[in-house]
Amino acid sequence: MLRIESISKSFGEQKLFSNTSLQIKPNMRLGLIGSNGVGKTTLFRIILGEESIDAGNVMHHKNLSFGVVHQEVENFTGKSILSETLSIFPEISKIEDEIVEISNKLNDEPNNSKLLSKLSDYQIQLENIGGYSAENKAKTILSGLGFKESLFYQMVDTLSGGWKMRVALAKVLLLSPDLLLLDEPTNHLDLESLIWLENFLSSYKGSIIVISHDRYFLDRLVTHIAEISRNKIWTFKGNYSKYFNEKEVRNDTLVRQAKNQGKQIAQTERFIERFKAKNTLATRVKSKIKELEKMERIEVPKDDEKTINFSFPQPIRSGLKVVDIKDVNKSYDTVSVYDNFNFQVERGDRLALVGPNGAGKSTLVKLIGAVIEPNSGEVKLGHNVEVNYYAQHQLEALNPSLTVFQTVEGLSNEIGYTQLRSFLGSFQFSGSDIDKKVSVLSGGEKARLALAKMLINPGNLLLLDEPTNHLDIQSQDVLTSALKQFSGTIIFISHDRQFINKICNKVVEIDSGNIQEFEGNYDYYIWKKNQIESKTPIKEDNIDKSKRKENYEEQKAKNRIENKQKRKIKKLETEITNLELSIKEKESEMSNQPISNNYAKLQEIMDEKASLQLKLDAVYVEWLELQ
C-alpha cells in the first residue's frame, strides 16, 4: 500500500531520519509515537509529498487516496458547519450552494416557477451523485463529534479554534480515504466525542496513521506502534501497552546481551594480546582478530531525554470544606446551565469532571475559580483556600516580551536555577528553548508554559481544564507523578482516561446541570455505569500460576546450563593449573646442570615442554570461549 524505504532527512545540523524504513499495509492502524520534535509531523509531510527527503524513496499505489488532519486550525469562512463539512466533495458542495441560493430567493418569490424548476433539477442532480446520503453521513459524524443539530447551519466563522478542528476532522472522516493521517486528533475533543471517534475508527475500512500521546486511545484503536527514536522508526505489533511491555523486555535483553558481548570482546582481546607472539597459535589469533572485526556490536538503547523528577512545593493546609456551592443558578442568554445547584468539595478530593459537551463542566470550574459569576446563589471557598486555575484560553495572558525562563523565574523561592531548568525541561523547554520569547512560541508551547507557570508554585486548590493537551507521554508522566504527590485538592476536566485513572479519587458526572458522584477512578466509574461484573479472579489466578510455572521451568533449564558450564570452567581451570605446574617442572629440569650438558635428554624435555604448552594453549582457548 505504502512503503518508505531507507529515507534520510535533516534540517541543517538537526538530523531527523537516517536510513530508516516503514511499511503501511491495508487495514493497518498505526500509532506513531515519540518525544516532541523527533519528526512525527515531518513524517506525515514526507508521506504527503509536502516535504522533500535527502535520500531514500516513498512509494505507494497510483490511486491511493489520502486524508489528513493537522494540528493547526484551518481558517474556514463563509459557509455553514454542514456546508463546510460537505465541501470535501466539491461537486456536492457546489450543488448544495445552488440549492441554498435558490431557496433564499424562493422566500421572496414562493410562486416563481423557474426557480422551482431549477430547485427540482438541482435536487435530482444531488440525489444522483449521492449527495443526500453524504449529507446524512455528515450529520451523523458532526453529531458524534459533539455538534448539536441546531448548530449545523451556524456559520463556521463563529466557532472557536477547537470546534473548527472538529469540522476539519469531520470533513476527512466523511471523505473516507484509503489512508487517514491524524495528527493529535483527540486534543480538542471531550470524553464523549473521543469515545465516539474510537468506535468510528475501529470499524474504519481504510488504513490509519495516528499521532497521539493518549495511551488509552492507542490501546483501544491501533494494531501496530511505530516509535521514532534515535533517527529511526521502530515498529511493534500490537497496541501501546503491548509495545511498552515488549520494549522493556527487549531493552533488558539487549542490556544483558551487550554486557555479555562486552565480556566476550574483552576476553578475546586478552587472548589476542597474550598469544599474538606465539607462532603455534598464529592462525587462531588471526581468526580471533577477524571475529572481532566482523562482530556486530549490540547497541543499548538510550532514552531520547533524561528522566526528570519534579515535586511541587506543598501548599499551606486549607480548611476541611474547600468549596461550598449553594442554590446557584447560571445561564447564558436563554440557555440554563445550572438551576438551584448545590455542590461541596472537601480537602484532599481529586475530582474528575466528566459528561457530554455543554453539560456544564467548564462552567463549574469557572464558577469555582471566580472567572464567572453566578446569576444567583453563592460560591464560597473554605478557610485558607488558594486557587490556581488553568485553561488554554489563558495563554494570551502570557507576556510576549518575556522569555520562557523569565516567565517562571522568581515565582518560587524554593527552586534554584538548576532545578528551575529541570522543571522547564519536564515541559519540553530545554537548552536554548528557555531563551525563546513568548511571542514566537506556538500555541502548544504557550499551553505548556502557562501550565508550568501555574504549577511551579501552586495554591492548595488546583482547577485544571484539559491539562495534558500538547504534552508528550514523558511530560504527562512528570505531571502525573507530581500531582499524585500534591497534598492539596484538585478539580479537573480531561479526556485522557489514563490521566483520570491515575489522579482522581472520585468521578463527578455532570449532565444537564445535575451531578452524580462515583467514588474511585475512571475504570470503576465505567464499570458502575454499565453495571458489568468484573472478571472472575479464578481465571486470573490460573493464568498467573501458569505463567509462574512456565517461568520456573525456564529458569530451571537455564540454571542447569549455567551450572554445567561452571563445572566445565572449574575443571579447565584445574587442568590449566596442573599444566602450568608441569611446564615449570620441565623448565626446572632443563636448568639442571647434568641434564643441560646432555643434549639428547635436554631435547626430550624440551619436546615434552612444547607438548605441554600446546595443550595449555588449547585449554586456554576453550576456557576463554566458555567464559
Q: Is the pLDDT at 167 greater than 50, yes or no? A: yes
pLDDT of residue 623: 67
pLDDT in tens, 571-583: 887 888 888 888 8
Distance from C-alpha of 40 to C-alpha of 33, rounded to nearest angstrom:
7
Report yes or no: 508 and 353 within 8 Å, Cβ to Cβ.
Answer: yes
pLDDT of residue 554: 60
Q: Could you tell me the pTM of the whole model? A: 0.70
Distance from C-alpha of 213 to C-alpha of 469, rounded to nearest angstrom:
9
| Closest residue by Cα to residue 46 from 275, 233, 177 | 233
DSSP, collapsed to helix, strand or coil, labels residue 337 as strand
Report yes or no: 38 and 229 within 8 Å, Cβ to Cβ.
Answer: yes
Report yes or no: 137 and 174 within 8 Å, Cβ to Cβ.
Answer: yes
| Cell numbers describing residue 288 | 580471533
Of 99 and 554, the one with more pLDDT? 99
How does residue 550 score in pLDDT terms, banded at 50, 70 and 90?
low
pLDDT in tens, 246-266: 887 877 887 888 888 888 888
How does residue 307 score in pLDDT terms, banded at 50, 70 and 90?
very low
Distance from C-alpha of 475 to C-alpha of 426, rounded to nearest angstrom:
6
Report yes or no: 388 and 461 within 8 Å, Cβ to Cβ.
Answer: yes
DSSP state of 313: P
Torsion of CA 451, 452, 455, 461, to 10 degrees: -10
Q: Is the pLDDT at 492 greater than 60, yes or no? A: yes
Distance from C-alpha of 267 to C-alpha of 288, rounded to nearest angstrom:
10
DSSP state of 155: B
pLDDT of residue 140: 94
Q: Is the pLDDT at 190 greater than 60, yes or no? A: yes
pLDDT of residue 366: 94
| Overall average pLDDT of the 43-65 stretch | 92
Provide the β-strand partners of residue 319.
Answer: none
Of 315 and 621, the one with more pLDDT? 315
| Overall average pLDDT of the 536-555 stretch | 49
Q: Which residue has the cell 470546534?
A: 163
Report yes or no: 377 and 517 within 8 Å, Cβ to Cβ.
Answer: no
Report yes or no: 329 and 374 within 8 Å, Cβ to Cβ.
Answer: yes
Residue 593's Cα: distance from chain center in Å?
A: 81
Torsion of CA 122, 128, 131, 137, to 10 degrees: 150
| Overall average pLDDT of the 496-510 stretch | 93
pLDDT of residue 624: 60
Q: Percent of the chain at pLDDT above 90?
A: 39
pLDDT in tens, 400-442: 999 999 999 888 777 788 888 888 887 878 888 899 999 988 7
DSSP state of 466: S
| Overall average pLDDT of the 206-232 stretch | 93
Please list, in sequence order, all residues whose beta carbon lies within 8 angstroms of the beta carbon of residue 173, skipping any fewer than 6 positions away: 141, 180, 200
pLDDT of residue 264: 84
How does residue 309 score in pLDDT terms, banded at 50, 70 and 90?
low
How does residue 611 score in pLDDT terms, banded at 50, 70 and 90?
confident
pLDDT in tens, 136-158: 999 999 999 999 898 998 999 98
What mean pLDDT value characterizes the chain? 84
| Overall average pLDDT of the 184-189 stretch | 88
Of 276 and 238, the one with more pLDDT? 238
How does residue 597 score in pLDDT terms, banded at 50, 70 and 90?
low
| CA distance between the termini of the chain | 48
Per mean pLDDT, which of 208-222, 433-447, 515-529, 537-551 is the most reliable? 208-222
How does residue 271 score in pLDDT terms, banded at 50, 70 and 90?
confident
Q: Is the pLDDT at 593 greater than 70, yes or no? A: no
pLDDT in tens, 86-98: 888 888 878 877 8
How does residue 551 score in pLDDT terms, banded at 50, 70 and 90?
low
Secondary structure, 3-state, 79-137: CEHHHHHHCCCHHHHHHHHHHHHHHHHHHHCCCCHHHHHHHHHHHHHHHHCCHHHHHHH
Distance from C-alpha of 354 to C-alpha of 491, rounded to nearest angstrom:
11
- How long, in residues, is the chain? 627
